[in-house]
Amino acid sequence: MIVTGFHATRTHKLTPGQKTANRVLAVGRAPVEHGFAHLKNWRILTKLRTDPAHATRVLRALLVLTNLEVNR
């Protein structure tokens, strides 16, 4: 499921509730986007052409290494 935020226009301003909903979405989205940004630093992913099960194992291992590095 894809969830998008509310958009304001010149004639239609956001209500306080819509602003709050956008803020909640941003708080949940930011860690995911940061995770993808960290994964893009691993060069092995540019040449990774394998079955989905192996790719999942590689990604999990890289996520563990990334989390260890970030939390140092």
pLDDT single digits (tens) 6-35: 999 999 999 999 999 999 999 988 888 887
Q: Which pLDDT belongs to residue 10?
A: 95
Residue 23: inside a domain: yes
48: left (phi over 0), alpha (psi -120 to 50) or beta: beta
Residue 26: inside a domain: yes
pLDDT single digits (tens) 23-72: 999 998 888 888 788 778 878 777 778 888 888 888 888 888 888 877 77
Encode the chain in three state secondary structure.
CCCCCCCCCCCCCCCHHHHHHHHHHHHHHHHHHHHHHHHCCCHHHHCCCCCHHHHHHHHHHHHHHHHHHHCC
Residue 46: inside a domain: yes
pTM for the model stands at 0.57
Q: How many domains does the chain have?
A: 1
Structure tokens belonging to residue 42: 């691993």
Domain that holds residue 40: 16-70
